[in-house]
Copies of this chain bind each other. A is one copy, B any other.
Amino acid sequence: MSGDGGRPGSRRRTVLRSAVAGGLGAAGLTTGLAAGARPAHAEGARKGAEPPRTRVSILLYDGFTALDAVGPYEVLCRVPGVEVTTVARERGPVLTDTGEMSLVAARAMREVRRTEVLLIPGAGNRGTLAMMEDKGVHEWIRTLHRHTRWTTSVCTGSLILGAAGLLRGLPATTYWASRPYLEKAGATYTPGRFVEAGKILTGAGVSAGMDMALHLASRIADPRTAQAVQLGIEYDPDPPYDTGSPEKADEELEKLALKLIDDAAR
């Protein structure tokens, strides 16, 4: 425990220890930015130290996997200068693969013609196949990709990048159960939580998006910022089991994992 600001009952009411004396609580309780306003920009302007603007656009589509989008969002949203937005065919709620959760797309695809970072989350079988066949989405991805600093995917999102023609001749990764399908896109499956190939960054399945995003945070900002973000989300993983990759599982467990995904899919 460090600093006086952390003492319960200190001047400002707060439930997080203060970053600077009286700082965190004060900002949390007194700022009145409109919903969706750019907090980092506001902070930057106030302090005369505006960081370069980095727009991160996360594609949402029917049947996407929530954590593929939210893991990287939670890492990137606190990197100075980063603005995260969610994009779908139309603005509004988009249902996930299980049908038990919806995230809201803040913008429609036609409203987003430039972005510094594009992130394509993965989905179950149905959602991924639909996106792999959607020529309009491919055109949108290619248009954005011309000017991105980073074009990224999580899980089967790499198959969508592949269908858009972006992975030809490149090393890439994807969801473990989808590795054989990367070759159809002309990519070479490469082991790893994430694979960097020029400005294309592909992540492995679902939760790997968090590891990929920490790497991305260090490239957008610097390693120290990425480390602070890791601490900020208390990402000190310690799962009660160690069966998170097929290399650590037996064939029966693989079958059960895929059956559970199948059964929960809408």
List chain A positions with a Cβ less than 8 A from chain B.
Answer: 1-3, 6-8, 13-20, 23-25, 27-29, 31, 33-37, 39-40, 43, 65-67, 70-71, 73-74, 77-80, 83-86, 93, 95, 98-104, 106, 124-126, 128-129, 132, 155-156, 159, 175-181, 183-184, 193, 204-208, 210-211, 214-215, 218, 223-246, 248-249, 251, 253-266
B residues in contact with A67, CB < 8 Å = 70-71, 73-74, 233
B231 touches A262 (CB 8 A): no
B70 near A254: Cβ-Cβ < 8 Å: no
Q: Can you list 27 A-B pairs, Cβ within 8 angstroms, ordered by A?
A: A3-B255, A13-B129, A19-B255, A19-B258, A20-B255, A27-B125, A28-B129, A29-B126, A33-B99, A36-B100, A65-B74, A67-B71, A73-B101, A83-B100, A93-B104, A101-B104, A104-B104, A204-B236, A208-B234, A215-B240, A227-B253, A228-B256, A229-B260, A230-B239, A232-B257, A232-B258, A237-B244
Q: Closest 6 A-B residue pairs measured CB to CB? A: A205-B234, A236-B244, A28-B125, A19-B258, A237-B237, A102-B104
A177-B246 contact in complex given A71-B67, A78-B263, A233-B67, C-beta closer than 8 Å: no
Known A-B contacts: A16-B124, A36-B99, A73-B101. Give 5 more (CB < 8 A). Answer: A67-B70, A70-B71, A155-B234, A228-B256, A236-B245
Which residues of the partner chain B approach A66 to less than 8 Å between Cβ atoms? 70, 73-74
A249 to B43, CA, bound (A): 25
CA distance A202 to B215 in the complex (A): 29
B8→A258 contact, CB < 8 A: no
Pick from B80, B205, B210, B256: contact of A239, CB under 8 Å: B210
Nearest-neighbor residue (CB-CB) of A32 within chain B: B266
Task: Verify B260–A225 contact, CB threshold 8 A.
Answer: yes
**Which residues does chain B contribute within 8 Å of A210, judged by CB atoms?**
207, 237, 239
